[in-house]
Amino acid sequence: MKVIYKIAKRELQMLFYSPIAWLLLLCFAIQTGIIFSELFGSLVRDANEYGHAWRASKTLFAFGDQGEGLWIQVQSFLYFYIPLLTMGMVSKDLSSGSIKLLYSSPISSLQIILGKYLCMVFYALILMAILSIYLIIAWCTVENFEEAWILTGFLGVFLQTCTYMVIGIFMSSLTSYQIIAAVGTFLIFMLMSMVGGMGQQYDLVRDITYWLCINGRSSTFIQGMLCSEDLIYFPVVIAMFWH
């Protein structure tokens, strides 16, 4: 475990030495801030006009009269960020030859991948920390805030982010070219998002495509439901791409 932590710490330091990690954090904060401000502003205007909008905490984060909430919108653009983060996790070691030094050291391939993945989980927690700011603001201002519902959706967004990241690391391990890794990761994300609409006229195919569709899984969390099937789905997909 100590070796995995050291690898994760090294990867995290290298990640933040490059401008891409800081730039993506800035873009994520600005994009989510604009979305939350618009949703919050709509609630304020409705509260002043109708006097009841403050009771609709789900409008801010899930579904409501104002359209899609913050969790839904983050879910829809999150896959644009992850390929840029993960494209160099392994491919840079392959292209520079440093992967040979890692393999020659007394650590296993699983420890190397776990260390790199733990680095990405730390980064995911930073993204979640940004989202938690909006959650706290709403918690302190919205009347009858439905924390169980909203926190369940927050968990779904975090699990989806972690799943995206392990897929990105897997694609990065297949090529020494970072651009190819990023494009390949994006294509897999797009396929996993679109597969839920394929073969809907056949019962068996519909069940399979629903199980494979990652957006459908996280949407269940955003709707406030904790299902054992969905809780199992994310660890299973993560384990699949580890191997």
pLDDT at residue number 194: 72
Give the model's pLDDT for residue 148.
82
Q: Give average pLDDT by consecutive 10-residue segment, the chain, 243 residues.
A: 80 85 93 88 66 58 66 85 84 70 69 85 94 89 78 89 89 84 85 67 64 72 78 81 65
Residues 167 and 189 sit within 8 Å (Cβ to Cβ): yes
* Cα–Cα dist 201/197, whole Å: 10
Q: What pTM was estimated for this model as a whole?
A: 0.85
Q: Quickly list H helices, the chain.
A: 2-17, 19-50, 58-61, 70-86, 91-96, 98-104, 109-141, 147-172, 178-194, 203-212, 214-222, 228-242
What is the pLDDT, as a whole number, of residue 47? 60
- Amino acid identity at 132: S
The C-alpha angle with vertex 157 and arms to 154 and 162, in degrees rounded to 5, equals 125
Distance in angstroms (rounded) separating the CA atoms of residues 38 and 121 = 29
